[in-house]
C-alpha cells in the first residue's frame, strides 16, 4: 500500500486565491512527521512546512499552512493568496519514527497559478 | 555555506558504462541520502547513510553502490548503466537530532540519460 497518496495530479488556481493540495498518509507508527516540498521548474527541492504527529496545533509558515487531521490521516497544504511564483510541483512526504529516518514521498501535485 | 552540491549537472551515458555521481555537503550533517526521480513521479530512496562508514539500502538500490568515507562526501556509483537508470538524481542531507523535525536539504540534482 502507498504510504503517501496525493490524488490531484494537477490543480489550477487564480492569482490571489487560496488553494488546498491534498495528502493522505498511511502508517501504524504513532511517531511520524509530515513534510511538504516545492519543486519549481528549475528542479530544486524547497522545504515548505513540517507537522509532527504529536503537534497540537496546525503548522503555519507565512502563506503556507498545514491542515492536519490525524484521525483521517490527512495533511493537506493550504497556500493562501496564491502568486504566479507558486506554480510548481508540490510533494508531500512522511518520516516514520523518531530520528532521521528517510522520507517517503508522494507522486506530487502540479499547481498552476493563473493571472 | 554552499549547502549540498552535486556534480555533474547533466550526463549522457551509453549502456554498460559506469560513472560516479558526486555529492558534498558543508553543513556537518551526519545523515545523507540519494534519491531518484523518474519523470512525473515522486522521489524514491536509493541509499542513505547515518554517518561516515555506515550506509544502508533504500527502496531501489539495485544497480547502485555508495560509500561514505567522510562526513562531507557521499558518492553514488552506477555500474553497467541501463536505460532504466535514466532519471534525475538528488542528494540530500539532514541533522541527526532525534526529534525527527529536521528537514532534508537537497542538492540541485543530476540529470542522467542512458542510451
3-state class (DSSP) for residue A112: strand
Q: Cell numbers of A73, please?
A: 490521516
Inform me whether the pLDDT recorded for A36 exceeds 80.
yes
Residue from A9, A36, A45 whose CB has the most chain B CBs within 10 Å, to mutate: A45
Hey, are the CB atoms on B103 and A4 less than 8 Å from each other? no
Report pLDDT for A18: 98
pLDDT surpassing 90 at residue A66: yes
Q: What is the 8-class DSSP label of residue B70?
A: S
Beta bridge partners of B47: B34, B57
What is d(CA A64, CA A48) in angstroms, rounded to the nearest whole number?
A: 7
Nearest residue to B31 via CA among B55, B8, B61: B55
Show the cell assigned to A50: 513540517
Of B33, B103, B105, the CB nearest to A35: B103
**Contact at CB, A52 and B101, closer than 8 angstroms:** yes
In this prediction, residue A98 carries a pLDDT of 75
Residue A1 has pLDDT above 70, yes or no: no
**pLDDT tens readout for residues B27-53:** 999 999 999 999 888 899 999 999 999
pLDDT digits (tens, 9 = 90+) for A81-105: 999 999 999 999 999 987 778 899 9
pLDDT band at B1 (very low <50, low <70, confident <90, very high): confident
Cβ-based contacts of B103 with chain A (< 8 Å) = 35, 47, 50
Count of alpha carbons within 13 angstroms of residue B94, beta-carbon side: 21
- pLDDT for B87-114, tens place per residue? 999 999 998 765 657 788 999 999 999 9
The model's pLDDT over A41-65, given as tens digits with 9 standing for 90+, comes to 999 999 999 999 999 899 999 999 9
DSSP A30: S
Do the Cβ atoms of A15 and A114 come closer than 8 Å?
yes
**What confidence tier does A109 reach under pLDDT thresholds 50, 70, 90?**
very high
Q: What is the pLDDT of residue A20?
A: 98
The HSE-up count of residue A95 (CA atoms within 13 Å, CB side) is 21
The DSSP bridge pattern shows strands B43-51 and A10-14 to be unpaired
Amino acid at each position: 500500500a502507498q504510504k503517501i497518496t496525493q490524488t490531484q495530479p494537477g490543480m489550477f488556481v487564480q492569482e490571489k486565491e487560496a488553494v488546498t493540495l491534498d495528502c493522505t498518509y498511511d502508517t501504524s507508527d504513532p511517531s511520524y512527521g509530515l513534510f511538504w516540498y516545492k519543486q519549481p521548474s528549475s528542479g530544486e527541492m524547497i522545504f515548505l512546512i513540517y507537522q509532527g504527529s504529536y503537534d497540537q496545533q496546525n503548522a503555519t509558515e507565512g502563506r503556507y499552512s498545514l491542515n492536519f487531521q490525524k484521525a483521517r490521516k490527512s495533511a493537506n497544504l493550504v497556500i493562501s493568496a496564491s502568486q504566479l511564483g507558486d506554480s510548481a510541483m508540490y510533494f508531500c512526504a512522511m518520516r516514520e519514527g523518531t530520528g532521521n529516518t528517510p522520507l517517503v514521498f508522494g507522486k506530487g501535485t502540479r499547481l498552476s497559478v493563473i493571472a | 555555506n554552499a549547502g549540498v552540491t552535486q556534480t555533474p549537472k547533466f550526463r549522457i551515458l551509453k549502456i554498460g558504462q559506469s560513472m560516479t555521481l558526486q555529492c558534498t555537503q558543508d553543513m556537518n550533517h551526519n545523515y545523507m541520502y540519494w534519491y531518484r526521480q523518474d519523470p512525473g513521479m515522486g522521489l524514491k530512496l536509493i541509499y542513505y547513510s547515518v554517518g561516515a562508514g555506515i550506509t544502508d539500502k533504500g527502496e531501489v538500490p539495485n544497480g547502485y553502490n555508495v560509500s561514505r568515507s567522510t562526513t562531507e562526501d557521499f558518492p553514488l556509483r552506477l555500474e553497467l548503466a541501463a536505460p532504466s537508470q535514466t532519471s534525475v538524481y538528488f542528494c540530500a542531507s539532514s541533522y541527526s537530532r532525534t526529534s525527527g523535525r529536521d528537514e532534508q536539504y537537497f542538492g540541485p540534482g543530476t540529470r542522467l540519460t542512458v542510451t
